[in-house]
Structure 1
């Protein structure tokens, strides 16, 4: 591909397809103002590039090129995250050894550390992000000190496993609050520890979470390759596989499906999801608290189906698949269900039922507000809802817009 700006690529491909700006706007579902802005040198989010790519018949990454980001106002994020940043990415002096800082003078106790990691996992699944911000830095430092204190034998191995566990959880928390580069540092650390002790399911969980962070960064091709190659390397024998092994393998395929569908590779995405479903089918019910503190079973792969169809602009098919999601195999994690409910809400608004979409969004807002307020996807859906009737917004729509920080 020759070197050119994104605006040049959009304009050239639109003209090659024989479309006017108005026709591209209509086919992509974007406003004419957005098309004009992009062709004049503006930038947009990955979701917009996905819609453009689908309308023009290319992969999403066709539009992406390296460039320096636009200057932005400084934020307080660096200060707010300073403690957790210090714990997972400590300074290194001339000794070459990381300076982890203190662990509050605690005596090493693997049982106590194990209990603390489980407590943090419960906080993560309860969306208690403020509590996690306080608890995680000290717990990561404590894990470092336990690894140093137990320097051989089974206790050393368990200390490394617990450190891999807490850094993996920290990485997932950082993804939720959109600190993706910092999350990747934590997840790389988790992966190294899991590989050192040969814990394949825990390593697979770290790779899967790494893929999630990269997906948020728009690194679609990298994610698909990472996940398919890792899945090939650890593919279990179905007749003998443990729930942890099935979960690790299945989640990698679902991450690959998520990347492929966002890159307009829908047939590949459906194939990955279908293969992942074979892993889920081996388990009669959802299994909770598997390696990496995830849930997996027959429910998990079916939640990917509506997401793929929605990205393929088939909201009616997405709702059809959502109606067939099994309800009698266990609940799974709340974040997975909430992400699915966002898909259902977007399908409803795209089929003209903004009231139903608003009801779903407000239900999530009431039940899991801490989770929802960090979801860019939720803000996108809210904008779609508010744009359907800009002059006659209901009270529920206004409340939703206020919560999500979206102006009518």
Structure 2
């Protein structure tokens, strides 16, 4: 198959090679014939649609991905807003290395540590404006501390810089500034490895995997996470430190997520089973490096999402009933993603009312987070499509909030 051809050409060729008509493919993928025709005529679709087509045709989801030039950006306002973060995370480099502004303030590791915790709290509370405002100064201060200190103090400064960079990278990914986020996360990983902090290294690698998942780079994420998990795997789970077990299990969850999205269900189940074993040993949700949590509830939520991706919304909701009692133990971000997954599962089962209730609850509880979620926009679009005649006031409220035309 010529991978330099367009997606539409490759889809037509593969469908014919499988001996299927457009109607046959639409039925096998549980899509409308109109969607198949649109794609074969050069149209585009969501990742979920390509996932269904891949399953029906027996290929990985990434088979449909092809390099394209990015669409031109009309509004450069975001560049202005992020200029300070860009300067801190990706400064110019000269003959003697990266160039940072001079800072005459004496180092204070205790103060730097409190600043890292403050930015982490803002991030978990979805106060993204505060993260954007504080993280550039935090990263620059961390650079200054590393340059000014020696010995054990410098090692602690490097660890705090890794923490500051991975938090900044997570924020950039959340607002879909993926390339900038990857730069921050790679530097965070370099620092974490320099001081031998496996937990922080796993956090940086896992977050890097997250942004690559958003770019549909599923094969790369799976390989990245499998290689990392092999390096982190404890010799004996029952005797290993819980922090090491959590780092290993967290990376395996990311591997499972990538395999599930790439139509590799057997591999996804295998990775998820290992992650579940790690969570069982840990026993409860524990705080991990990178201001995250790992434990049975977080792993179960990941498994529920994998069932949803595999087009089993009924199984996903069955799992959600088992999670209900322990969901509050996960981080706020994980809980919000879990709620959005439940909304997706209900909509797949045509329960518009339940989907609407969850979306409105998220709008009230986590408005900034919700507005930054592509899945939320897709759900709102589907709610509008399923509306009979005129959309309800609730659906118009959700659409207006997410900036969609009704």
TM range (shorter): over 0.9
Q: Distance in 1 between matches of 2:57 and 2:403?
A: 32
Superposed counterparts of 1:187-336, under 5 Å = 187-236=185-234, 237-288=236-287, 290-325=288-323, 327-328=325-326, 331-336=329-334
Q: Deviations over 1:254-305 (max 9, x none)?
A: 11111001101112111111110111111232113x2011011111110012
Runs of 4+ in 1 over 6 A off after TM superposition: none
Q: By how many angstroms is 1:346 displaced?
A: 0.9
Q: By how many angstroms is 1:252 displaced?
A: 0.5
Instruction: Determine the structure 2 residue equivalent to 1:100.
Output: 100
Q: By how many angstroms is 1:390 displaced?
A: 4.4
Greater mean deviation of Cα atoms: 391-400 or 244-253 = 391-400
Instruction: Determine the structure 1 residue equivalent to 2:74.
Output: 73
State whether structure 2 residue 105 is matched by structure 1 residue 111. no
8 Å contact 1:247–1:296 — kept in the other structure?
yes
Aligned pairs, how many? 404
Q: Structure 2 vs 1, CA of residues 74 and 403 (structure 1 numbering), >3 Å: closer, same or farther?
A: closer
Superposed counterparts of 1:7-406, under 5 Å = 7-93=8-94, 95-103=95-103, 105-150=104-149, 152-236=150-234, 237-288=236-287, 290-325=288-323, 327-328=325-326, 331-406=329-404
Q: Distance in 2 between matches of 1:296 and 1:164?
A: 20
- The secondary structure found in structure 1 opposite 2:84 is helix
Q: Deviations over 1:324-346 (max 9, x none)?
A: 11624852101111111111111
Q: Deviations over 1:347-381 (max 9, x none)?
A: 11111110101101111110000111000011112
Greater mean deviation of Cα atoms: 112-121 or 29-38 = 29-38
Unpaired stretches in structure 1, ≥5 consecutive residues: none
Q: Distance in 1 between matches of 2:113 and 2:271?
A: 35
If the length of structure 1 is used for normalisation, what is the TM-score? 0.95
Q: Distance in 2 between matches of 1:171 and 1:28?
A: 36
- The secondary structure found in structure 1 opposite 2:238 is coil
Q: Distance in 2 between matches of 1:177 and 1:31?
A: 32
If the length of structure 2 is used for normalisation, what is the TM-score? 0.95
Unpaired stretches in structure 2, ≥5 consecutive residues: none
8 Å contact 1:286–1:330 — kept in the other structure?
no
Q: Structure 2 vs 1, CA of residues 330 and 385 (structure 1 numbering), >3 Å: closer, same or farther?
A: closer
Q: Structure 2 vs 1, CA of residues 133 and 4 (structure 1 numbering), >3 Å: closer, same or farther?
A: same
Which has more helix, going by share of residues?
Answer: 2
- The secondary structure found in structure 2 opposite 1:170 is helix
Q: Distance in 2 between matches of 1:33 and 1:77?
A: 36
Q: Distance in 1 between matches of 2:220 and 2:272?
A: 18
Q: Distance in 1 between matches of 2:328 and 2:243?
A: 17
8 Å contact 2:182–2:211 — kept in the other structure?
yes
8 Å contact 1:212–1:255 — kept in the other structure?
yes
Q: Deviations over 1:167-193 (max 9, x none)?
A: 011111111111111100000000000
Q: Distance in 2 between matches of 1:75 and 1:83?
A: 15
Q: Distance in 2 between matches of 1:136 and 1:120?
A: 7
Q: Distance in 1 between matches of 2:38 and 2:327?
A: 48
8 Å contact 2:218–2:261 — kept in the other structure?
yes
8 Å contact 1:253–1:275 — kept in the other structure?
yes
Q: Distance in 2 between matches of 1:349 and 1:328?
A: 24
Q: By how many angstroms is 1:219 displaced?
A: 0.6
